Structure 1
Amino acid sequence: RSAVVRGRVVTSLGTGLMGVRVSTSTPLEGFTLTRDDGWFDLLVNGGGAVTLQFGRSPFKPQTHIVFVPWNE
């Protein structure tokens, strides 16, 4: 049931934001940091909704819920 969530964190100007911590609401799934261009990849349990948490100072933390199919 594993899946990879891939995405990009950008500023209000559309530029990639480096060093944002991306995790899920399940601590055992770990976390990743966005790369220089804002892109990230995170291995999660697929087959349902996943709550992604984003955080980096001085920005306000955000959460987003995404549907993640199995094996994708």
Structure 2
Amino acid sequence: MIVCVCRRVSDQTIARCARSGMDFDDIQMEHGVATQCGKCESCARALWSECAPGLSVAHLQKHDEPFQSAALA
């Protein structure tokens, strides 16, 4: 999928760069992501943050019922 229409940069390109350790600023310099109209910046940054190594991302789930231990059930 093309993330940056102005510079024709795909999600695969952003993910590959992020996984290789590039900072978002480096991706902007090399590929021009979010340097023209800027409409893709939030999507591009979110994709980068998901794929960048060393950045822990918490995935939280909301449960409707309070947690009960199996021993209590």
TM-score tier (shorter) = under 0.3
Whichever structure has more strand as a proportion of its residues is: 1
Flag the structure with more relative contact order, 1 or 2, with Cα contacts below 8 A and sequence separation at least 6.
1
TM-score by length of 2: 0.24
